[in-house]
């Protein structure tokens, strides 16, 4: 499975089977986490046993307490932390999908029951539940490209494809409160329109867009034809 296939196939999963994650997959996942921590100056931490991380009424009602593993998303606290968490966290989420695992971004977890190593200058932002899903999740209704693209007129194929991938990004409550603008100099600007976990959402959206553009660049397919 390629990363683009993972973007298209991956949906949030809240109900997991009672099965431990295979050791070889844990090794691969931890290698990716180390890489993302280095690239993003972050402190993601994977726990094979989620313990009481998801033991609360909300998660019992939704089924999320069944998640066997958890990735705690933390890092040095500054103005860019939430967006960096979203960007590199989604890279990990998509890699997990490629490994045959299922995931769910969540802010409903018990920070008091998290055994993560959090330094004084760090902050936990969100968590990612991970394991083998009872199902593959369901796709949600998405906005049209024209609803998130700023500016009229024809756009290059690579930009449109990036937007297409961005619209497949998971966002809190599926609100998709973002806009994307192609500037005259060819750079891309992402606009945050607020909402729950808005900066995390924007980071996830940015990663999807970049993955789409990178795919086009590698394939050499500059135009739709």
CB 116 within 8 A of CB 128: no
Residue with the two structure tokens 């083998």: 132
Beta strand 122-131 with 69-76 is antiparallel
The rounded percent of the chain whose pLDDT value lies above 90 is 86
**Secondary structure element (H or E) that encloses residue 131, with its range:** strand 122-131
Mean pLDDT value across residues 81-99: 98
Note the pLDDT tens digit of each residue in 42-89: 999 999 999 889 888 778 778 899 999 999 999 999 999 999 999 999
Of residues 77 and 114, more confidently modeled? 77
Residue 224 has pLDDT above 70, yes or no: no
Mean pLDDT value across residues 18-35: 97
Mean pLDDT value across residues 11-18: 96
Confidence at residue 225, expressed as pLDDT on a 0 to 100 scale? 38
Confidence at residue 115, expressed as pLDDT on a 0 to 100 scale? 85
Average pLDDT, the chain: 94
pTM above 0.85, yes or no: yes
Confidence at residue 222, expressed as pLDDT on a 0 to 100 scale? 62
Closest CA to 199 of 107, 72, 82: 82
> Residue 3, by phi and psi: left (phi above 0), alpha (psi -120 to 50) or beta?
alpha
Exposed, middle or buried by CB within 10 Å (0-12, 13-18, 19+), for 55? middle
- What domains are there in the chain, each with its CATH number? 3-131 (3.40.109.10), 145-219 (3.40.109)
Judged by average pLDDT, the poorest of 28-37, 57-66, 87-96, 141-150 is 57-66
Mean pLDDT value across residues 2-22: 97
Residue 107 has pLDDT above 90, yes or no: yes
What 3-state class would DSSP assign to 88? helix
The rounded percent of the chain whose pLDDT value lies above 70 is 98
Of residues 202 and 152, more confidently modeled? 202
Confidence at residue 125, expressed as pLDDT on a 0 to 100 scale? 97
Residue 178 has pLDDT above 90, yes or no: yes
What 3-state class would DSSP assign to 95? helix
C-alpha distances in Å from residue 23, one per residue of 7, 26, 214: 24, 5, 31
Confidence at residue 223, expressed as pLDDT on a 0 to 100 scale? 59
Confidence at residue 112, expressed as pLDDT on a 0 to 100 scale? 81
Confidence at residue 111, expressed as pLDDT on a 0 to 100 scale? 81
Confidence at residue 7, expressed as pLDDT on a 0 to 100 scale? 98
CB 75 within 8 A of CB 81: yes
């Amino acid at each position: 499975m390629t990363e683009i296939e993972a973007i298209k196939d991956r949906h949030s999963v809240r109900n997991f089977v009672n099965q431990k994650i295979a050791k070889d997959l844990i090794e691969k996942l931890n290698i990716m986490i180390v890489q993302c921590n280095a690239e993003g100056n972050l402190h993601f931490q994977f726990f094979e046993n989620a313990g009481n991380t998801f033991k609360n009424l909300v998660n019992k009602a939704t089924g999320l307490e069944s998640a066997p593993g958890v990735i705690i998303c933390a890092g040095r606290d500054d103005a860019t932390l939430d967006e960096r968490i979203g960007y590199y966290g989604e890279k990990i989420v998509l890699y997990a999908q490629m490994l045959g695992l299922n995931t769910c971004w969540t802010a409903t977890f018990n920070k008091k029951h998290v055994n993560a190593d959090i330094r004084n200058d760090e902050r936990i932002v969100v968590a990612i539940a991970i394991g083998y899903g009872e199902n593959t999740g369901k796709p949600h209704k998405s906005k049209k490209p024209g609803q998130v693209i700023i500016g009229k007129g024809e756009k290059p194929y690579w930009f449109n494809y990036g937007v297409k991938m961005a619209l497949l990004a998971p966002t809190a409550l599926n609100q998709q409160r973002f806009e994307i603008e192609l500037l005259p100099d060819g750079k891309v600007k992402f606009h945050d329109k607020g909402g729950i976990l808005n900066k995390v959402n924007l980071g996830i959206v940015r990663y999807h867009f970049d993955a789409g553009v990178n795919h086009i660049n590698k394939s050499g397919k500059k135009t739709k034809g």
